[in-house]
Structure 1
Amino acid sequence: MTNKEEVQDKRHLRSIKTKQKLLQAAREIFLTEGFQKATISQIIKKAEVGYGTAYVHFSGKEEILIVLMDHVMEKFYQIAEVSFSPSSKEEAHDIILSQAMDFLKMAETERNMLQLFEQSIGISSSISAKWNSIREKFIQRISEDIAYAQKYGLAKAELNHKLVARGWFYTNEMYLWEIVRNEQQGTVEEIAKTITAVYTGGLYQMNE
């Protein structure tokens, strides 16, 4: 490695560390102050970095929160990305139930950050747009799973897989926010089993 490459490598590492310091500081400030009251100045001070350096990485608090949203929602998306290649309706049901359970349990685990996201979605148009893009990413993945099940004769072929996917995600999202607000009726297990039974019963004709 040349001296020039070593210098570039050190700068890159410093840049990564600075960005991580800003994200960690922002997380703490957001959870303490709330999105609306939190300021970029508070975040920069907490992170102990220079103003000029901070603005190299982020244009403001909204951009920082969007990155934090990506970090948290990636955990949810890993659940959606579980391999879906069932050979029977029963197997499809079990995979979907497991995903619904894990998705809603993650809502419990990430309750504080999700409360922050819900608050910011109602305040910031850019955060709201970000949530919509996250939603569409999930719907697209679910749609692919439904199309797979239809292709192999497990699910009703006459149903529009994109519309079904949208309905299934919205159902999960509704319960996610109820869990985040501590407003849910019943346990996570009961909710997951109930919505999975209704969903698969209609799409997969589980009663046959």
Structure 2
Amino acid sequence: MEQSHSVTDGRHLRAQQTRQKLLEAAREVFLEEGFHKATISQIIKRAKTGYGTAYVHFTGKDDFLIVLMEDVMAAFYSIAELPFHPQSRGDAERLILHQTTSFLNMAESERDMLKLFSEAIGAFPTVQKKWEDIREQFVLRIAQDIKYSQEQGLARKEVNPELVARGWFYSHEMYLWDIVKCQHKASLDEIAKTLASIYTGGLYE
């Protein structure tokens, strides 16, 4: 029984290692070739695996990109998940500015991977759906922060938290893609301060 368990664990470990090797190869090929020019054949050749092995783990190159983006977005989610328990409007302003600045800086540091993702969004429904899921997760978390501020008597209670959260994230999303395309016309600090100022000025009492 123990030998059977050991064999199973060994196979599982090898499968994990193969999957990771394929992901690393995919990342390298995507960054070198761009998403549209990259092929499964190039990825498989770089990873030194067979077609059958690759398709055991991934359904296509969009699947490779989605998994890679999950790792990138985990870092963004960590920003959204930062503790948010302001005791005053000043506290809220400082926390929001910190989150906004961190989000924009993350967009810049992950520009190459996000650029690949933007190329694929319009071409693959699976990637489009993934981005929509990412957006909704952010909106939900932001709405929770707004509700907390309303309950503490810091934010206007007559506004709908989800609607405010959606507009707040959309403004970040617009600047995220501008940063990815190197089209932003101001420094990240100036953009962050402007966004945070407009947001807190309209929401907090």
CA distance in 2, matches of 1:115, 1:36: 12
CA distance in 2, matches of 1:175, 1:17: 37
Correspondence for 1:88: 88
Q: Deviations over 1:74-107 (max 9, x none)?
A: 1001000001111111101111100000000001
CA distance in 1, matches of 2:48, 2:204: 55
Q: One-letter code of the match for 1:21?
A: K
Determine whether 1:136 maps to 2:136.
yes
RMSD: 1.0
Q: One-letter code of the match for 1:173?
A: E
CA distance in 2, matches of 1:23, 1:33: 15
Q: One-letter code of the match for 2:82?
A: V
Determine whether 1:28 maps to 2:64.
no
Consecutive unaligned residues of structure 1, counting only runs of 5 or more, are none
Q: Deviations over 1:16-44 (max 9, x none)?
A: 11010110100111111111121111111
SS at match of 2:74: helix
SS at match of 1:157: coil
Correspondence for 2:204: 204
Q: One-letter code of the match for 2:64?
A: I
Shift of 1:8: 1.0
Correspondence for 2:45: 45
Q: Deviations over 1:151-170 (max 9, x none)?
A: 11110000000000000000
Shift of 1:141: 0.4
SS at match of 1:53: helix
Consecutive unaligned residues of structure 2, counting only runs of 5 or more, are none
Correspondence for 2:186: 186
Correspondence for 2:99: 99
Q: Deviations over 1:32-60 (max 9, x none)?
A: 11111211111111111121111111111
CA distance in 1, matches of 2:39, 2:181: 25
Q: Deviations over 1:98-128 (max 9, x none)?
A: 0000000001100100111111112111111
Q: Which runs of 4+ in 1 moved over 6 A?
A: none
CA distance in 2, matches of 1:66, 1:115: 13
SS at match of 1:182: coil
Determine whether 1:114 maps to 2:93.
no
Q: Identity across aligned pairs (percent)?
A: 57
TM-score w.r.t. structure 2 length?
Answer: 0.98
CA distance in 2, matches of 1:126, 1:60: 11
CA distance in 2, matches of 1:111, 1:66: 16
Q: One-letter code of the match for 2:151?
A: K
CA distance in 2, matches of 1:165, 1:96: 12
